[in-house]
Structure 1
């Protein structure tokens, strides 16, 4: 993944601003379509880094703060000349938008660039790269990550200090906790049922808990659909059904509009919420006074206890006009000063293991550091259209109480067979 020594040195000098003065450099402009919106904490950190990069390199960065639909907007643009030099997003969105069709550039130069005395490649935790495959078959990396996403069961530690010291570890212990909360007159679990990816996280995680990392990928990859007959699959679906039929979910979750139920959770109207590591950032502005973010890992159903770990990061479209400059900025943002701000100010998990993190992230970061095995969101399943049109669509019916676990498994088997027949 590394350049020849001479080429790497050129990139390193460019990044540190030592090769020449800004006045000596030709005027260049980098176009960046960002996944962040104006005034988000992440946007503010990135905007500061962009200003520093412009000053240090003597270039212009034309950034569009497009929000989470930036990659949806990119897909049709790839067939035009209006293609940005740099985009960012999570693996699960990046793969179908750019990588499945091999329209992302290999980022050899970015990985070889010097960042705080090491190559950018050396700043990415190797143990996560074993699980999260961000390389083409030829070994070229297509993403330079700057953030790690995980998930957890979140709670207000000021209201439930017992969960900090003695959280449920198994599914039976988790259900017992939900029953206790119900008996105390509390709503156990909040969920915004209109977000299909959030809904699907329950079944996905339960299957990975039952059968280990890679189980959902194996299931979804089976073109015959026979893998859906595995008893572990039905067991995972039945556990989702148990949550629905047990009355543990907040009233109205199945007809809500995000972030209504998330707001209710943050205001104490539900005790728990299964959500990604971005929840403290998203809910901080409307959390109840004195709210203390605590979390524990999703409970086990057997011996599998992996933690979810995903990357969000930068990619460069092959049609980018300023691909070299785009790779320079991608590596530039891995500097510790920006990774520290990413952890402390944006309150998310930086990709660099030596970066600072906010107190809100302490429990998730500790859990990530403790485990030795990891799984991705949807277990890495990102086949074009599969999640949105096949898996998530059927899972919504299960999670919203419209079909039974048995019906879900049967219908998914049929839908998956049909999906693979349409794929070339």
Structure 2
């Protein structure tokens, strides 16, 4: 399956953050790694052995071993791989190579200064290509993957967020996608008037609800502005005319009945499956949407993508990839494998077999993601939820999600949202001075 919300690192991020903060306080990460023979390496992966990404990586491991003589011991740990890495940062045996999504890596290895500087990997040649890793991986995705100028992750999969719809059922939207918020709301109003459900949303998933509010704010205010609002220790920075205008637009989605019936009482994945069956027009989701709903999609369903409209339109993009703990015994062997995996014959299978986008723009995207690939090439990229999860550990759960759920579900108005968020945000910063 694709990296989907229910199995993504968000559900274990809070635990990882707690562990990382403890490690930081203890001064972990000061000692350098090495000491191995670099003729072998241990790799702990976020994938289960039966998943498409695991099969692609396993095939690359076999080829790497045959070509280099380096033995790779792989453990398919699953999404909670970093929960097993974190305790070892205190002094236990660590893997030489780990893969995971950016946010959990930032919360653990980066937060504890326990990561290896991967500058050497980016300067290395992708075997047989005549190109460096830095020339293969688009720098568009690298802006958030550094600490103090030192890269901590080499991405091999890109996750983009936006609106998905059935191109077969909505050819006019494919031909002329909405570029402004009024154009989108006109489509939603038309859908409602014609007796359809405009938007699918499983409202029991707080970050799915937040995709709407933060996404519309990012489109209106520009990337990074939501994170700035969350930084305010009084919580009152949100109360401005421009923010209020956006919040009103989000509030109106439920007020005008644009969400599918039952969205606020559903249990994931009920509503998104109804969308795949043609019972709603749009789904705001990450690029796992096609692979996650494909088995439920009605016959003839064709996945199309359009960026969430806004005056400062952008694509929220997350990455997942490889990192190396600072105390890894065989870091050079791990770096060698990273560069090896970025060969077209291996990285390309993330698209052709795992059906996901890669960070190499010269590789073709899977058919379901061609619209997303085009959008990421043409538009600025931002961080999913504007980086709230990684910038302020615990903030979304303690402050933003509770207030936002009430707004999106139509249980509070803009004033109520602002009052509740200000109170929760101020309390959050009192505890995190």
Flag the 1:43–1:284 CA change in 2: closer, same or farther, 3 A.
farther
Contact 2:254 2:410 in 1 (8 A): yes
* Aligned counterpart, 1:16: none
1:160 partnered with 2:185? no
Taking the TM superposition and a 5 Å limit, the aligned residue runs for 1:132-211 are 132-137=143-148, 139-211=149-221
Residues 211-254 of structure 1, C-alpha deviation per residue, up to 9 Å, x if partnerless? 11111121122223232222222223222211122221122222
* Aligned counterpart, 1:9: none
Taking the TM superposition and a 5 Å limit, the aligned residue runs for 1:251-290 are 251-290=261-300
Contact 1:233 1:409 in 2 (8 A): no
DSSP-derived class of the 1:361 partner: helix
Taking the TM superposition and a 5 Å limit, the aligned residue runs for 1:387-402 are 387-402=396-411
Contact 1:72 1:97 in 2 (8 A): no
DSSP-derived class of the 1:55 partner: helix
Flag the 1:305–1:74 CA change in 2: closer, same or farther, 3 A.
same
* Aligned counterpart, 1:417: 426
Taking the TM superposition and a 5 Å limit, the aligned residue runs for 1:306-345 are 306-345=314-353
Q: Structure 1: give runs of 5+ residues left out of the alignment.
A: 1-24
Contact 2:38 2:331 in 1 (8 A): no
Q: 1:85 aligns with which of 71, 96, 115?
A: 96
Q: Judge which range, 206-215 or 398-407, deviates more.
A: 398-407
How many residue pairs match? The answer is 394
Flag the 1:309–1:27 CA change in 2: closer, same or farther, 3 A.
closer
* Aligned counterpart, 1:224: 234
DSSP-derived class of the 2:322 partner: strand
* Aligned counterpart, 2:412: 403
DSSP-derived class of the 2:173 partner: helix
Contact 2:163 2:305 in 1 (8 A): yes
Q: Structure 2: give runs of 5+ residues left out of the alignment.
A: 1-35
* Aligned counterpart, 1:236: 246
Flag the 1:148–1:157 CA change in 2: closer, same or farther, 3 A.
same
Contact 1:152 1:297 in 2 (8 A): yes
Residues 31-56 of structure 1, C-alpha deviation per residue, up to 9 Å, x if partnerless? 33322233322222122112222222
* Aligned counterpart, 1:365: 373
Contact 1:120 1:331 in 2 (8 A): yes
Deviation at 1:345?
Answer: 1.7
TM-score (structure 1 length as normaliser): 0.86
Q: Distance in 2 between matches of 1:94 and 1:72?
A: 11
Flag the 1:405–1:151 CA change in 2: closer, same or farther, 3 A.
same
Flag the 1:148–1:400 CA change in 2: closer, same or farther, 3 A.
same
Deviation at 1:257?
Answer: 2.8
* Aligned counterpart, 1:22: none
Q: Distance in 2 between matches of 1:355 and 1:73?
A: 33
Deviation at 1:141?
Answer: 0.7
Flag the 1:197–1:120 CA change in 2: closer, same or farther, 3 A.
same
Flag the 1:179–1:317 CA change in 2: closer, same or farther, 3 A.
same
Deviation at 1:29?
Answer: 4.1
Deviation at 1:68?
Answer: 2.9
Q: Distance in 2 between matches of 1:140 and 1:387?
A: 27
Q: Distance in 2 between matches of 1:399 and 1:98?
A: 34
Deviation at 1:152?
Answer: 1.7
Q: Distance in 2 between matches of 1:365 and 1:33?
A: 29
Deviation at 1:351?
Answer: 0.5
